[in-house]
Structure 1
Amino acid sequence: MGLLSYFSVISHDEAERLHLATREQRLEDDADCIKMVQQREALKKIAKAEKIKIQNRKRQRSKRQCDQAQKEDPSNAKTAELSCPRQLFKEDAAKNRDVRGQKHEHKATDAKLNNWVNPLLWQQIVNAGHEAGPQLSPTEIVKILKARNLQNFSKLTPQVLGCYIERPLNNNGSCTFEVEGSKQVAVTSKEEKRAWTAVVGVTAAGNVLPMQIVMKGGSQHSLPSSNSLDYAESKELGLLFGLNAKNYWSNIPLLEEYLKKIVTPHFSMQKQRLGYPEDQECVVLLDCWLVHRSEEF
């Protein structure tokens, strides 16, 4: 019995009819798929429109609550104006001026934008930030503020508050807040920096040798003062401070000083500890810095 015995034999006309039927079925299936996709997209549009309606209703309800609160307490009706008192100072000063001279062409208008760093408002934001926890979620902070003082913080949004959270919350420039456990924290209000190079040596046993600190400068005034904090401890640990007049990188004299005062004493101590002769050869592996590839080196 051959392999073809498992298949039925049909004529050419039957094969053509079967092909047409299969093609029509594929077209119907494709049409159904297209229809399902269109229905799915229509449902997405309906859901999106409904979401926008809900957000608009919430926004309108919040505005009505704010307006009602302002009617009940007129003293808080102009938060923007009270948070920007400069215009009021200018108006008071204008009252004492000579009435003669050119008249004002434009009348004074009330402030429209709130000054959230005004001490009267900022302290409330700081307190809400402490209550919100270390995550400092803008949404949570805004929710707390509106629950406590809807009149003054009705126009505050999480997006606006997020710009202020990146700055120190205590508003004195001495601290930076970040999520607990972050690997890197951006430093604010610390624009002046001092670059320097640390020459680090590690032995084959895994011990770290004292570092050489290279700073740019032409005199000892460019180095840390002997009266600075922990300076005595750094000298006890064997730290070596060096100067480079051109930049803060190591050069030939500094490298020679590092080998003479740090590497060579370490080799001598290890030879004495292990009982090796003084002429025992030692190996130093150096990174391929430019100074190490110079003709002078």
Structure 2
Amino acid sequence: MAREFTTEITDTVVGSFSGTADPRLRELLGALTRHLHAFVRETRPTTTEWERAIGFLTATGRMCTDTRQEFILLSDVLGVSMLVEALNGHGDPGATESTVLGPFHLTRSPVRELGATIDLVGTGEQCVVSGRVLSRDGTPLPGAVLDVWQADDRGFYDVQQPGVQPPGNGRGLFTADAEGRFRFRTCVPSPYPVPTDGPVGALLGTTGRHPWRPAHIHFIASAEGHAPVTTHIFVADSPYLDSDVVFAVKQSLVQDFAETDDPSLAEEFGVVNPFRHARFDLVLEQA
């Protein structure tokens, strides 16, 4: 009797969405219901466990603010963000690979001139990041836009430390020059733990997982006529490259932040010699 009812209620709920005008929404709701019900039938949660699950999701929602997205963080640590990214990736082997957006992207970074610094604090090891934005065939993309953001040398984003870091620290919106070139100054980013003061952090602790991400810089690169790419550049010698808590490391995105001892280059870039220098190109697919 109970087995018949569990099948019947699933079919009833799926059927209740039959009047949904949007066919894709109808498909998604039906699939969600079938898979969710199958999970419940397989694991047979107790009422207490169900209440704890509801409490966890409620707490996750309460942690979300204009500058923090706990649900994205939950998606990240469960590998869902990377799975969605992999399924939606364009798949061109010559283009820059994409990876997760992360929970600390803001709608718009401060507009900065090429060569400007995004490190407004100046406490970390100085670094220059430079390269080109190219089409798949190697053609430079003049006027390409790069949205850049990173944690500081202590592993915090500006929005995590209001009153300590100035707003916009570690962020910049740059426009590539006529040859698709870009460059900016910053500090070498640090590995950092994802926020552990919320329900996602508690989940990691309960399951014995570490919360750390390897050092990286975020990019969204876009150009007219091309598909934008959301990606990271990971520091080659960083810890946690093989155990990123959000599963976002791809080998093609690991870059050498080389120690550079070149006074003339330091003068050109406006940094003190010696310094670290990361050179790489961002390659976009045509839309």
Same fold (TM over 0.5): no
Tell me: higher relative CO, structure 1 or 2? Use CA pairs within 8 A at least 6 residues apart. 2
More helix by share: 1
More strand by share: 2
Short-chain TM bin: under 0.3
The two structures have a TM-score, normalised by structure 1, of 0.19
